[in-house]
Structures are given as structure tokens and as C-alpha cells.
Chain A
Amino acid sequence: MHLPSPCSPLSGTTRRTLLRGMGGAAVLGVGIPLLSACGGSGSSSDPKTVTLGSNQSDAVPKKAYGEIYTAYTKQSGITVDVNTKDHNTFQEQINSYLQGTPDDVFTWFAGYRMQFFAEKGLASPIDDVWEKIGGNFPEAMQKLSKGADGKYYFVPLTTSLWAVFYRKSVFAQYGYKVPATWDELVALCKQMKKDGLVPIAFGDKDAWPAMGTFDQTNFRLNGHDFHVELMAGKASWTDAKVRKVFDLWTEILPYHQEGSMGRTWQDAAQTLVSKKAGMYVFGSFVAQQFTDKAALEDLDFFAFPEIDPAYGQDTVEAPTDGFMLSRAPKNKVGAVQLLQYLGTPAAEGIYVKSDSSLVAASNKADTSSYTPLQKKAFEMISGAKNLTQFMDRDSRPDFTSTVMQPALQNFLRNPKNVDSILSSIERQKKTIFASA
């Protein structure tokens, strides 16, 4: 009979078991970051540190945000431990991130997308912050920062703006006038086509730029209130009012740049840079594509023309970025102080100095460093009666991404099918909005 020596197999077994166990732990460990998303929050019980999760991963905004945090640390002695993630990844993981162990403060968007997490209890109300910073913001911004329950959840920092962008030199060369009404816009498109220009630059490969055109046509034609109802899933997409929006869109569709489905917004912007296109309906961040200083100075914009005189140009699409407080911040006192600082004109002034494509959300921020483009955007936003955020921020993100994006692309390809597209939107909308 051969008996195994008492030691070696035992040690072998334990080693194997140990390795197994470690392997298992490693496999499980892969799943853990998905839930907790970030590791930098271990030291945050320290009263001198506030953790902050940021989606500002692009070079220009990342640097500008960094400068704000540095200034805050200098002033207060509290360190801001920033955890920056890729912009899109941050968005895709936000659900699990907020349910796990999120940072104390996180960057996010105003509007429905903010209210959604407030309603789900994944963000803390910050009325105490707003007692200090309330006076820094115009009324429209205050409205934007509230959840559906009337409490504040959001501190706005910067705003971009959607309008019609053009080159001053091109308009001067051909003697074009800025169109104030829809008919003037159509006439201008015709003239530009005759002059060999692409009247309206357009790229919808990423499927969201078309939403901007819809939003602006809709609130010019049907007014802000109807637009809000439509976005909230209350008004019907088969309403004749919505149909009219698509009729108007069909009217100017032939003047849009061809091949838009395969073109990114950056490439579309390049046709404006190279003066091949006359106009571009887009956000002010289009300026980031103008790397040449002279070209940037030549860039200008006008508000989307009036369609119904009853509404004039009273609404401006101004997507706002800012901060929220997570549901159980580890250093709540510090986080509230940081948010109070972020809501000051000083903090916003630091940002807009570094990134000239956006403007400060506060109307008290220092505007002396503004470029003429920023000044104009600032005035347009301050003068607006209503601010909207953009379709994918004003409505349910699942509705806009799985229904509206393909539907609008379908419309752009087959404008004649508008009725069946709209009834399909309405059917899908009903089930999505009923599910929450």
C-alpha cells in the first residue's frame, strides 16, 4: 500500500485551492468596478478631501475644470480628488455608478436627465447650497436646477447655445442678409444654392445633430410649452402641430448638405471652415473646429428665424452642464462647500477664460474676457424667456436614443414617409413612457 506523504499533497491541495480562490476572486473582481465604478474614493472620509467624478475628458474642458478645483483648494484648503472618465463611458455607466459608491460630487446635465436621478433618490437635494448661490443665477437657470419635487439638485456651471452659424466674410461677399423669418431663410437657401454654396452644412452620422433642427423648428412653430409637453411624452407625436414641423423641415431639406448620414458633425463643420457652406444649424461648440484664429473671428451666428410671430424668438436651446451631489456623500460638509464655490461667478469666470466655446451659467460672471462670440451668446441666453436643454436632455434618454434617433434618420432619408414614422414614434413612446 502506498500512502501519500502527509505533507506534500496537503500543501499542494491548499496551494491549488488558494490559486482557485484567487482566480475566482479575480474573476469576480472584474465585475466589481462595474458596480462601484471608481476606486479613488477610499480616502474620502478625510474632512480635507472631497471626491468628484467628472465626465469632462476632452482636453480643453478638462484643463479648465482642473483650474477651478486648484483655485478652490488654494482658497479653502480642501483637496478635490478628481476622477475623470471618458465622456461617453461616464454616461453609459451612470446608472451603476450612482448606485455603487459614487464620488461625493459628480458632473452632469441640467433638465430631465438630472430630474430622473433626483426622482430615483440617487442624488441629494441641495437647497442649502442654493441659499448661498441663488442670487448668482437668472430665473431660467434656477428653474433648470430644480427637480420635479421643487427642490434644488443641480449647480449649473457652463452653457452652450444652439443657433445658426455662418461666416461674416461669406455673407459680406455675396451680400446676404441675416434671415429673420422662415420665408427669408428659405429664400436665402435658394440664393446660396444658386451661388454654388451648400446652403446648410449637415452631418447626422452620430444621429443626434438632427434633434437640434427639430427642437428649434418645433419651439419656433409651436412654442416652448408645447415643446416641453412633447418632450415629456404628454403631447402626441401624431398631432398636426408636429406634422407641420416636419413639413417645414421637408421644405429646407433639399438645401441640406448631401450624404449627411455618413458624415460626422466635425466633418460638416469643416465645410463651414472652408467656406463651402453658407450656414450650419449647430451648438456653439462648433467653434472648437475653428483652429485658425482669423477664421474663428470670422465666425458668427444668428438665432433660428421666427416662424410663428406669437412666439418670436423667445426660446433658446442652451444645454447646461454642472454638478450634482451624490445620494450619500462621505464628506457632505466639504461637498456642500465645494458646490457653493462652484456656483460663484468666480469659479465660472475661471472656466470661460480657458474655453471660449461656452459661456457661464451665472449672469454675474466676469464677462470682460469674453470673445465677441461669447458675448453675443451670453446676451442671447440672458434675454431668453425660456431655455431648453436639447432633445436628449429634455426627454427620456431611452426614448430619444432608441426611438427618436433612428426615426429622425429615417425621416431624413424618406421625408415622404413622415406619417408612418410619426405614428410609429407615437406607439413606441406610449410604451416607453408608460413603463416608468
Chain B
Amino acid sequence: MSNSTTAETNTQGPEAAAVPPPGAAPAKMVSQGHRRLLTRRDRLTLGLMAGLPTILHFALVWVTALASVALAFTTWDGIGFDSIKWVGLENFKQLFNDNPQFWPAVQHNVIWFVVLILIPTPLGLFLAVQLDKKIRFSRVYQTAFFLPVVLSMAVIGFVWQLIYNPDTGLINSLIGANEPGKYIDWIGDPDLNLWAILVAASWRHTGYMMILYLAGLKGVDPSLREASALDGANEWQTFKNVIFPTLRPTNTVVLVVTIIEALRAFDLVFVFNKGAQGTELLSILITNNIIGESSRIGYGSAIAVVLLLISLVVIIPYLIATFRKERRA
């Protein structure tokens, strides 16, 4: 008898959640059912299934992250724990006042984000809208535009480095700028190299954005288009007033993805020119300070903390606003 009751409660579960329970009785039944369903062994299993990953997550994500924050206030060369010395805010003072690469790096991370959001993102949206029209060879175009996203960043960096190589690269060879006097140093010139790399980054990011928007567009209810067509809206009006507003969840994803891309930009630049003058990035400064022989782990951690703070400042308000809106809707 109790079996059938639990079964009923279970099947009713989702509906019951949607409709507010009329009294306390059904809730009681649900909890009773749960108690019967979970034997001690089940609870152990569940405990282990939930507990072990939690412990691993805690140890590998939180402990390391917090340790890194703590290390930002010390100096440590990475040899033996007894060589960790507390220095307070010294690392941050040096970073803000004495490091000639720090402010350019922050600036470049910001430029990276602005460029990604202004150029490849609208371009990806444009391509997605075009490809959504069921034109011929749509699959071929999709594959072609998406291909750079499949390639690893290191490979992209390598490929574009061949294009930009000042002596033997494609561009300089084509326009004859590889002779003394006419030199264009795409990789080394600090006025050029960031933009040269951003072309490569945008090349990849466009395909990524295209796929995200294409997926969003596939989810748009066709009856909306029909309705707006019946109301006499032209294509641009339909897009602006009907389609784009329904893409709001996609836009959230796009924005968050782009911010993350801008903050973690590393591999492309590292392969391209190791973050030389003009292309300094926070991630590269962290790597240069932490990895190596007599590493400055405390100092590198301080840069990492700055990067973490920037990410939090950017992401948290946006996510809070979005979730609030979604809950209201």
C-alpha cells in the first residue's frame, strides 16, 4: 500500500510543484516517501557520490584558489614552505607603481574585450542570420566559418605568425614590405602587433559567435516571424523588434563568453610573440612571473588576484541583473 502511495506522490511531484500545495498534508507525504526510498546504503552511496566530488572540488579549486590569494601577500621562490615570507601589500604596491608592463597589460585586456564585442560578435550574428535563411550550401558555410574555433589557439597563433612574419610572411611578401626601408613589423611593432593579433582572435571569435547565435535563432518560434510578416513588418523591423529580443538568453551567454575570452586571452599571444612590448596581457605576466626557475610566486599571485577581481567586478553584476530579470519573467 505504501508503495503505491509513493508511486503516486512521485508521479504527481512535478505537477504538485507547479501548483502550490493546498495544505500541509501532501508535503508530509512527500517527505515520508523520501524517507522510505532512501535506505542507509543509498544514503551512503549518495553521500559518497556527492561528497567525494565536493571534496575534490574543494581541494583542487577552492583551496588552491584561496592559497593563491594568500600567496599574493607573500614572497616565495617555490623552494620549501619555510621560504614563504609575509610582505603585506608590498607586491601590489610594486605592481601598481613599478611594473612598467602592468598597466599596459590591463589596458590590452580591456581593448581585447572591446574589440571582440564590437567586431566579431555583430559579424557572427550577421552570419548566423544569413545562414538561418536556409540558403544553399548552408552547411558548407557553417563548417568553413566554424573551423577556426575547432583549431587550438596555439595552432592559430602559429598560422597567423606565418602570415605576419616580417621577412617571409604572406602579407609583407605580397605588398613588398620586407625590404630595408619599407619594413612593416607586424609582430614586433608595439603600435601594430596588438591589432594584428586581434585580427587573428576575431577570425576565430566570429565563428564561435556565429554558432552560438545560430543555435539561438533555431530556437525562435517560427510563428513569431509569421505574425510580424502578417503585421507588415519588413525584414529589418522583424529582426530588430521581434527576433533580437527573443535572443536575450543567447546574448547573455555571448557576453559572458566574450568577457571570459578577453580575460583568459593567452595562448594566441604567447605563441605569437610571448607578450612582448605592445601585447602584454595579465595572463602572460602571471605566467612569466610564476613559471620558471627562481619563480616569483607571490608576485605572480598578486597579478592573478588582480585578474580575479576584474573578472568578478565584470561578471557578478551582470549575472545578478540577468538572473533577476529572468526570475521576474
Stretch at the interface among B95-103, B234-242, B262-270: B95-103
How far apart are A253's CB and chain B's nearest CB, in angstroms? 14
In the complex, which residues 1-47 of chain A have their Cβ closer than 8 Å to any Cβ of chain B?
1-4, 9-10, 12-13, 16-17, 20-21, 24, 27
CB < 8 Å: which of B42, B52, B75, B187 contacts A261? B187
Within 8 A of B (CB), among A75-132: 91-92, 94-96, 99, 113, 116, 120, 122
Residues of chain B within 8 A (CB-CB) of A3 are: 39
Q: B98, A398: Cβ atoms under 8 Å?
A: no
Total contacts A-B at CB 8 Å: 144
Chain A hits for B98, CB < 8 A: 424, 427-428, 431
Contact B289 A402 (CB under 8 A): yes
User: Shortest Cβ distance from A370 into chain B, in angstroms?
Assistant: 33
Which of A21, A116, A198 is B293 in contact with, Cβ under 8 Å? A116
Please state if A397 and B56 are interface contacts (CB–CB under 8 Å).
no
Q: Which residues of A contact B45 (CB under 8 A)?
A: 9, 12-13, 16-17
For chain B, the count of residues having a C-beta within 8 Å of the partner chain is: 55
> Given that A95-B78, A424-B100 are known contacts, is A20 also in contact with B48, CB under 8 Å in the complex?
yes
Counting chain A residues whose Cβ lies within 8 A of the other chain, the interface size class is 35 or more
The answer to whether the Cβ of A169 comes within 8 Å of any Cβ in the partner chain is no
Complex CA gap A17/B168 in Å reads 58
CB-CB under 8 A from A397, the residues of chain B are 292-294
Contact A95 B79 (CB under 8 A): yes
- Answer yes or no: A298 CB below 8 A from chain B CBs: no
Q: If A24-B52, A205-B276 touch, does A259 touch B185 (CB 8 Å cutoff)? A: yes
Asked if A95 and B295 sit within 8 Å, CB to CB, the answer is yes
- Known A-B contacts A96-B78, A207-B276; the reply to A262 vs B166 at CB < 8 A is yes
B60 → chain A closest CB, angstroms: 7
Q: How far is the CA of A1 from the CA of B52 in the complex (A)?
A: 31
**Which residues of chain B have C-beta atoms less than 8 A from A205's C-beta?**
187-188, 273-274, 276
Asked if B86 is at the interface of the complex by the 8 Å CB criterion, the answer is no
Q: Does A410 contact B (CB under 8 A)?
A: yes
In-complex Cβ contact of B289 among A120, A259, A398 (8 A)? A398
Contact of B180 among A20, A198, A428 (CB under 8 A): A198
Query: Does B164 touch A at the CB level, under 8 Å?
Result: yes
| Complex contact B100–A16 (CB within 8 A) | no
- Which residues of A are found within 8 Å of B79, using beta-carbon distances? 95, 99, 120, 122
Q: Given A27-B60, A424-B100, A261–B277 Cβ distance below 8 Å?
A: yes
On chain A, the residues within 8 Å of B188 by CB distance are: 204-205, 259-263
Instruction: From known contacts A258-B185, A261-B188, A435-B75, infer whether A402 and B294 are also in contact, taking CB-CB under 8 Å.
Output: no
24 A-B residue contacts at CB 8 Å? A1-B2, A12-B45, A16-B45, A20-B48, A21-B52, A24-B56, A92-B291, A95-B293, A122-B79, A205-B188, A207-B274, A258-B185, A259-B167, A259-B185, A259-B189, A261-B187, A261-B277, A406-B100, A409-B276, A424-B100, A427-B98, A428-B99, A431-B98, A435-B77
Known: A409-B276, A431-B94. 5 other contacts (CB 8 A): A4-B42, A204-B188, A261-B273, A261-B276, A413-B190
Interface residues of B (CB under 8 A from A): 2-3, 36, 39, 41-42, 44-45, 48-49, 52-53, 56, 60, 75, 77-80, 85, 90, 94, 98-101, 164-168, 180-181, 183-190, 193, 273-274, 276-277, 280, 288-289, 291-296
A contact residues vs B (CB 8 Å cutoff)? 1-4, 9-10, 12-13, 16-17, 20-21, 24, 27, 91-92, 94-96, 99, 113, 116, 120, 122, 198, 204-207, 258-263, 267, 270, 396-398, 401-402, 406-407, 409-410, 413, 424, 427-428, 431-432, 435-436
Q: A-B pairs with the 7 shortest C-beta distances?
A: A261-B188, A262-B187, A262-B188, A259-B185, A259-B166, A258-B183, A262-B166
